[in-house]
Amino acid sequence: MKSDDKQSSHFPAPPFAEQPQKAPGLASRMEPTPDHGETRYQGHGRLSGKRALITGGDSGIGRAVAIAFAREGADVAINYLPQEEEDAKEVVALIEAEGRKAVALPGDLRDETFCQQLVDNAQSQLGGLDIVVNNAGRQQHCESIEQLSTEDFDATFKTNVYAPFWVTKAALKYLQSGAVIINTASVQAYEPSDILLDYAQTKACNVAFTKALAKQLGKRNIRVNAVAPGPYWTPLQPSGGQPQEKVKSFGKSAPLGRPGQPVEIAPLYVLLASDECSYASGQVWCSDGGTGTL
Q: pTM for this one?
A: 0.96
Task: Find the Cα–Cα–Cα–Cα dihedral 192, 280, 50, 97, rounded to 10°.
Answer: 50
Predicted pLDDT at 9: 57
3-state SS class at 41: coil
Tell me: pLDDT of 3 over 60. no
Separation CA 56–CA 87 (nearest Å): 11
Peptide bond into 24 cis (omega under 30): yes
Q: List, in order of start, the domains of the chain with CATH numbers.
A: 40-287 (3.40.50.720)
pLDDT bracket for residue 293 (50, 70, 90): confident
Q: What percent of the chain has pLDDT over 90?
A: 96
Tell me: pLDDT of 99 over 50. yes
Strands (E), 124-176: 131-134
pLDDT bracket for residue 10 (50, 70, 90): confident
Q: What is the pLDDT of residues 24-79, one digit of tens each?
A: 999 999 999 999 999 999 999 999 999 999 999 999 999 999 999 999 999 999 99
SS3 content of the chain, % helix, strand, coil (to 5): 40, 15, 45
Vertex 198 angle, CA 192 and 201, to 5°: 60
Kindly list the catalytic residues. 199
Tell me: pLDDT of 224 over 50. yes
Predicted pLDDT at 7: 43
pLDDT bracket for residue 8 (50, 70, 90): low
Q: What is the pLDDT of residues 106-118, one digit of tens each?
A: 999 999 999 999 9
Predicted pLDDT at 4: 42
Predicted pLDDT at 294: 83
Strands (E), 107-239: 131-134, 180-184, 223-229
Separation CA 170–CA 118 (nearest Å): 9
pLDDT bracket for residue 2 (50, 70, 90): very low
